[in-house]
Amino acid sequence: MRHSRNFQLRCLTATLLLLFSLGVCRSDAFAESGDIAPEAAIPSIVKALSQKPLVALGERHGVQEMADFYLALVADKDFRETADVIVIEIANARYQSLIDAYVSGENISMDELRPVWRDATNSLLQGGDDLSFEHLFAAIREGNLESDSNHQLRVLAGDPPLDWSAVQAKKDFYTYLNDRDRHYAEIVRNEVLQEGKRGVMIMGRGHLTYTVSNPEYPNAVAFIEKNHPGSMTIIHMLTDQPERLRKKEVAAPAIIFLEDTWLGETDAKFGFKRREGVAPPALNETIDAVLYLGDPSVFSETKLRAFDDPGYLAELDRRAQIIYETSYIDFAKSFGLPLPPGTE
């Protein structure tokens, strides 16, 4: 009887292992295969940069907790001594010389700098001037001015050099919009990797995955990895907290690497094409780690500058009319964006 029970247990174990290897059973039931080991976030990023030249931080745009983390990161002495460059997605490369002048401490006002993000390709989706951009650029500038060494942190604009004044038809805009990932990757290759520098990439999560939603449209990672395989560590901010992680009471901010962990075996949210009946890839197939910033259910939105510039509001309306054939107010309402006072 005892032998029979042991035989049954061995058969059950073998069956479960087979199902697990085939990806049929990927759930918390297999959590024992590897627990998570949270690390203090900033030292972990510094360590990752010492091992590979790039750390890619995939964000959900407009989250104040992420914006606050960036400020802490660029203020950290070890980070500033290790990193050479930050490449920002929502920054128009047409203004690179302006950015260089500002962060190096030249007499450039914030009013002069705002076109860097106001004129990004996705400016209509920004919902006004996001103050987090101002705060980040100002913090980098301040750190460079206070540095007691010659090592300066540079900011590279990752968005294509779109001249909005030349956009008179949809095609003028989409030529640049469809080139965003390739252009961002080219900036990283030319200004970071080929120069032997180390940098942090800041971009929306969908652009920063090892797998892609559609192979016909490579993301920034695919373009970079084509010629520089293994050059980066991809970290996504965590916005979907499993109950098991909640019970861990992880101290934020923390980096959690995913290889051989139960969290890494959970389903990915980005970097694949959703098809009925086809299971998504595991999270650890699409990225290397997650950035835990606390309970995502209490995240707050970044603060926006008031719509106090009639000229800029008129320009947003012009852009919306050309691209979407509607007013900016109606466009903003359809996307749930903040509205100028008196237009709710």
What does the pLDDT read at residue 35? 92
Class at the top of the CATH hierarchy for domain 30-303: alpha beta
The Cα–Cα gap between 269 and 285 comes to 11
Q: How confident is the model at residue 276, as a pLDDT? A: 73
Indicate the SS3 state at residue 52: coil
- Predicted pLDDT of residue 155: 98
Run means of pLDDT, 10 residues per run, the chain, 344 residues: 42 43 40 81 98 97 95 97 97 98 97 95 82 96 90 96 96 95 98 98 96 88 96 96 88 96 91 77 95 95 81 92 95 86 74
Q: Say if CB 282 and CB 267 are below 8 A apart.
A: yes
CA dist., res. 127 & res. 124, Å (int):
7
pLDDT at residue 239, as a whole number: 93
Tokens read off for 183: 């252009």
Q: Order of strands, edge to edge, in the sheet holding 154-159?
A: 39-40, 254-257, 289-292, 232-237, 54-59, 199-204, 85-92, 154-159
Q: Name the pTM for this structure.
A: 0.88
Closest CA to 113 of 129, 89, 125, 128: 129
Give me the DSSP letters along 285-323: HH-SEEEE-S-GGG--BPPB--S--HHHHHHHHHHHHHH
| Contact call for residues 199 and 87 (beta carbons, < 8 A) | yes
